Structure 1
Amino acid sequence: MHLHARGRAGRSKTVVVFVHGLNGRGYGTWQGWPRMLFDGEGGHPPLDVAMFDYRSLFRAVAQLKPGADIDFQAQKLAGYFRELGEEYQDIFVVAHSLGGLLAEAAVEQFLSDMRWKDENSAVSPVAALIFMASPLAGSTKARFPLFFFRDIRRLRVLSSEQGKIRSFFTSHVQAKTIASEKPFDFLVPRYAGLVDTDVAVSSTSAIGSVPSDQCGYFKGSHSSIAKPDEPTDPQHVWLLRIVREVQEVRTQWHREDNQRRRIEMSASSADKISIVTEMRFERRRGVWDRAYNDARANSSKRYAKIRDRDHAGIESKVNLLITVHEASEILSTDEPRATVEEAVLDYASGDVLSVAVCPVGIEFLAAERAVLGWLPVRYRNKFYVEGSVDVEGFRENMMTWIDAVIHGHPERQQRAVVGRRLLARNFDPYEEGEDL
């Protein structure tokens, strides 16, 4: 990523991150638009800009797996958001075409990370997502002959990866530009720009789930929408209006969020129950970790804090130990049995207060019976042995177990529920850098 920032003396508190689309380039896709923002053209104070470049389609044809790895690039971009968030109050993300899906995935990862780390401010540094001709609901142009490319497969209509990301935004993110996140967790308004002669992306897909009054309609083509020539061009005027509107609303959001934090800090920290969890497994760490962290974040309540043992301290007793296994491996190997038997010993010693075992896969019922056979008779009614077909089922099971542990906690029963460095740090003038 290339960051163009003015010196600290007059430095902007706002940065606009540009993310190009399929087969595009960090600077080439946008031409003079970033420069207009950096120079303050159009009646708005100058803004810092950052250019995110990645290889896709024919620029990535020589790779072992041709095309862009969108999930990997999203992880990189989410990392940049974290670093930019230390320097800037507002990060506006402007993304063209496929870049919209990449940016959406990066923001989802960034916000998910905030949730499981208990960074519970509704006002994240990401101020808004602005999509320019992005196929938010997929593109019918992504057809079989081009499925050789990973990035083309991501553009399919009803892509499972995009479906999961859409579900996250629908459940957790306020998309409207209003001064309240309720009933959601985060405030990240979404905007969509589309053109009347786009042969690559339909208007329905370009709008996706963006509120209708936050859509901009322009003349031109799929490519030209990202290349306004003058500060008076509609795209530039529209973007500056978005920046002004969102910043006005975020000022109120910050005020209310700070007030909420002061109220929470004034309450005694001893009033919040601490639940310590731990997860053990044999394989697929990344898959299990994500479901585990998401379940902990979803289960944290005003009166309970769900912490992993690694964060709570090695000496902490574990309220809930979870072992998760492939159902097929329970039925065919000895490794899961060793993990479960170790959990039994920890439970018997008193270091662990409750244990849950979750076989995952289509054979989970048979695997549950096998696990029950491994347990001493006196523990069979004390352990949770509940499997699921897939990882999503494991996540839901875990939330149920945590809820049971919270409500069975002695402190909970004794009182009523209480109501409420990747970026260079040089500050250079705007000079286009080299794309990848």
Structure 2
Amino acid sequence: MPTFVQEAPGPSMTIDGGLRVHLRNADHASALVVFVHGLSGSGYGTWGEMPGAVYRSDRLDADIAVFDYVSGFRRRLGFSPNIIDVARELNSHLDALQYKRIILVGHSMGGIICSMAIRLSHQKTPFGHSQALIHRAVGLIALASPRSGARAVILGGQKDARVLRVHNAEVTQNSEFFTNQVDTQWRGSGRARYRIPIWAATATHDRFVDYFTATFALRGDQVDTFTGTHTSFLHRHDIREWVVERAARSLAQADVPLRATRSVIKTRFRGDPLHSAWHDAFHGALRRFEVSPDGITIYDATHEPREDDTETHLQVRIIPSGVCDAEATATEFREYGLAMESGRLFALGAAPLGEDVDEAARRLAGYVEERPAAWIAPVSEPQNLEDEILNWLERTKESMTHANRFDRGYE
């Protein structure tokens, strides 16, 4: 569990793993700025005066947290987890906190861990859970962070080198997730499921992280360069002011009211055409769906050409239980998984119908594992199918509401 103290963070402080939160006053602030160090770094030693400067700034009403984990040289002292487990640990600490808005500040490998924590939050947590980091993160500040891999890894060890190599699997997944699912522009384009602006700072004499990998896919007005080496530039006065300014911008932009326009859940149905009762259940669920106060309605796109389909909000799939283990079904569900990762498919509801439905559902669940908007429901009787489809529609509506999926603009 996080440790809470009511004092300013200082460079001489120590922390042996975990998360320490510095409260500005007796009551928690509404926002939290979290510092995550890089390879071989330490919770306070890496940052110098930076956490204290953010803590004392009158531009921010935010508490400060410092996260520590073992990497690089420190791994020699005993057992230590891999970086994915570190990201999961960070996620777990933040899930236990009640802050409405969270800004993550990561140096070097710490920036990768921050990105990974956000992505894992999306994968592991149902969309309706508003405490998930993916719903509360309003900014990511990456300082000399190899967002597409580092050109040089010094004394990283096998566990660390795994996430530092250029275009390695983990940073590639991070890049794909932020490209497809996250609006990283600080003013927001309104074209992605989540809005988390990313700010990047580079150092002029950085021998480990080059400009391209540190600023990958970011707009020029979200990038700055400072004099110094990979770590020395963190101790400059101007970089401290820059971090305060970017945190303030992120919080201010998060407060900009969103104007929701009318939106549609674009729905497709796939089932055996010989069973008209299945189609009747689908259309019955559409008729029973209540238009929400914010204007979300239903649109049946089942018979539209699929080549014109750039986004489906809910795919309803009904499969006879006896064919759930067929190779074609397995291939199809893997394709559903890829469509969900790319953002072309928002939610999938699948029902094996018939005998041995629990076993069939178990097999199907393996194809959509770790995708929180994929729902597998065994349905033994056709008359229960309509209720289950309606349930998927309601869950999709809730997911779209929480994720700001629908078209939007600024007042």
TM-score normalised per structure 2:
0.62
What per-residue deviation string (whole Å, max 9, x for no partner) do you get for residues 31-53 of structure 1? 1111111122xx52453100000
Query: Which residue in 2 is equivalent to 1:133?
Result: 144
Mark the CA change 1:122 to 1:34 in structure 2 (over 3 Å): closer, same or farther: closer
2:153 maps to 1:142: yes
What per-residue deviation string (whole Å, max 9, x for no partner) do you get for residues 358-392 of structure 1? 799xxxxxxxxxxxxxxxxxxxxxxxxxxxxxx79
Query: Which residue in 1 is equivalent to 2:52?
Result: 35
Mark the CA change 1:275 to 1:237 in structure 2 (over 3 Å): closer, same or farther: same
- Corresponding residue to 2:75 among 45, 48, 60: 60
Mark the CA change 1:175 to 1:59 in structure 2 (over 3 Å): closer, same or farther: same
User: What is the letter of the counterpart of residue 140 of structure 2?
Assistant: L
- Corresponding residue to 1:111 among 108, 122, 130: 122
Query: What runs of 5+ residues in structure 2 fail to find an aligned partner?
Result: 1-18, 264-290, 300-312, 325-333, 378-384, 398-411
What secondary structure is seen at the aligned counterpart in 1 of 2:88? helix
Partners of 2:314 and 2:142 lie apart in 1 by 42
Query: Which residue in 1 is equivalent to 2:292?
Result: 264
User: What is the letter of the counterpart of residue 18 of structure 1?
Assistant: F
The structure with the largest strand share of the pair is 2
What secondary structure is seen at the aligned counterpart in 1 of 2:162? helix
Mark the CA change 1:320 to 1:168 in structure 2 (over 3 Å): closer, same or farther: farther
Mark the CA change 1:29 to 1:274 in structure 2 (over 3 Å): closer, same or farther: same
User: What is the letter of the counterpart of residue 125 of structure 1?
Assistant: R
2:210 maps to 1:202: yes
Query: Which residue in 1 is equivalent to 2:352?
Result: 320
- Corresponding residue to 1:160 among 165, 169, 176: 169
Partners of 1:400 and 1:100 lie apart in 2 by 32
2:83 maps to 1:70: yes
Query: Which residue in 1 is equivalent to 2:102?
Result: 91
Query: Which residue in 2 is equivalent to 1:82?
Result: 95
- Corresponding residue to 1:2 among 20, 45, 50: 20
User: What is the letter of the counterpart of residue 221 of structure 1?
Assistant: T
Q: CA deviation at 1:257?
A: 6.6
Query: Which residue in 2 is equivalent to 1:406?
Result: none
Query: Which residue in 2 is equivalent to 1:181?
Result: 190
Partners of 1:161 and 1:227 lie apart in 2 by 29
TM-score normalised per structure 1:
0.59
Contact 1:295–1:395 (CA under 8 A) maintained in structure 2: no
2:134 maps to 1:102: no
Identity %: 22
Query: What runs of 5+ residues in structure 1 fail to find an aligned partner?
Result: 282-290, 307-317, 322-346, 361-390, 403-408, 421-436
What is the alpha-carbon root mean square deviation over aligned residues?
4.9
Partners of 2:179 and 2:121 lie apart in 1 by 16
User: What is the letter of the counterpart of residue 44 of structure 1?
Assistant: R
Q: CA deviation at 1:244?
A: 2.6
What secondary structure is seen at the aligned counterpart in 1 of 2:39? coil
Contact 1:97–1:132 (CA under 8 A) maintained in structure 2: yes
Contact 2:91–2:133 (CA under 8 A) maintained in structure 1: no
User: What is the letter of the counterpart of residue 118 of structure 2?
Assistant: V
Query: Which residue in 2 is equivalent to 1:48?
Result: 63
What secondary structure is seen at the aligned counterpart in 1 of 2:86? helix
What per-residue deviation string (whole Å, max 9, x for no partner) do you get for residues 294-330 of structure 1? 789779989x884xxxxxxxxxxx8238xxxxxxxxx
Contact 1:74–1:105 (CA under 8 A) maintained in structure 2: yes
What secondary structure is seen at the aligned counterpart in 2 of 1:252? coil
Contact 2:185–2:197 (CA under 8 A) maintained in structure 1: yes
What per-residue deviation string (whole Å, max 9, x for no partner) do you get for residues 202-247 of structure 1? 111111222222001111111122223xxxx221222222223222
Contact 2:205–2:228 (CA under 8 A) maintained in structure 1: yes
